[in-house]
C-alpha cells in the first residue's frame, strides 16, 4: 500500500491487492498517506501456502477488479 500511494503521488495509477484479513490494514495505511478512501482489490486468504495453480486462481479473482482500477472505472481515490 505504501508503495502504491507513492506511485499514485507521481501520477501513475496503482492497484493494491490485499487478502481479506488485511483490508483494514490497507485502508488504515492509505489514510495515513492522505487517501481517505483508497480502493483495494480484495482476494481470499491465504496466499503464502498455495500451489502455483491456486495462486493463478487468486489472480483470476483479482483481475477484473485490477482492470477496473487501471481503466479508471469507479471511485478510486480521494486524496
Partner 1 sequence: MVSRPTVENAGPLEAIEAYFANGWTDGLPIVPPTEAAVREFVQRAGRDAQEVLLTVSETNRQCTVEAAAINAVMAGCRPEYFPVVVAALEGWADKRWGLGDRNYFYISIASTGGSGQLLIVNGPIRNEISMNYGVNVFGAGNRANATIGRTMRLILLNVLGMTPGVFDMSVQGHPGKYSYCIAENEEESPWEPLHVEKGFAPDESTVTVVGARGPVPVGGSGNLPVGGAESTRPEGVLELFARVAKTARSHAGTMVVAMCPQHAEAIAKHGWTKRQVKEYLFEHTKEPLTDEEWERVAQMGQRRGSSLGADKLVQTVDGVHYRLTFRAPEDVLLVVAGGNNGFFSSVISNWSYWIPEGDYIIKPIKT
Among 7, 9, 20, 28, binds partner 1 (CB under 8 A): 28
In order of 49, 52, 53, the CA distances from 27 in angstroms are: 25, 28, 29
User: Considering the complex, what minimum distance in angstroms separates the CB of residue 24 from partner 1?
Assistant: 6
- Told to check if 19 binds partner 1 by CB under 8 A, we report no
Among 13, 32, 67, 70, binds partner 1 (CB under 8 A): 32
Rounded CA separation 71/59 (Å): 17
- Told to check if 33 binds partner 1 by CB under 8 A, we report yes
Amino acid at each position: 500500500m505504501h508503495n502504491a500511494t507513492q506511485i499514485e503521488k507521481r501520477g501513475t495509477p496503482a492497484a493494491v491487492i490485499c487478502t481479506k484479513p488485511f483490508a483494514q490494514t490497507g485502508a488504515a495505511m492509505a489514510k495515513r498517506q492522505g487517501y481517505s478512501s483508497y480502493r483495494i482489490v480484495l482476494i481470499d486468504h491465504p496466499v503464502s501456502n498455495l500451489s502455483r495453480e491456486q495462486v493463478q486462481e487468486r489472480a483470476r479473482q483479482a483481475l477484473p477488479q485490477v482492470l477496473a482500477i487501471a481503466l479508471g472505472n469507479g471511485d478510486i481515490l480521494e486524496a
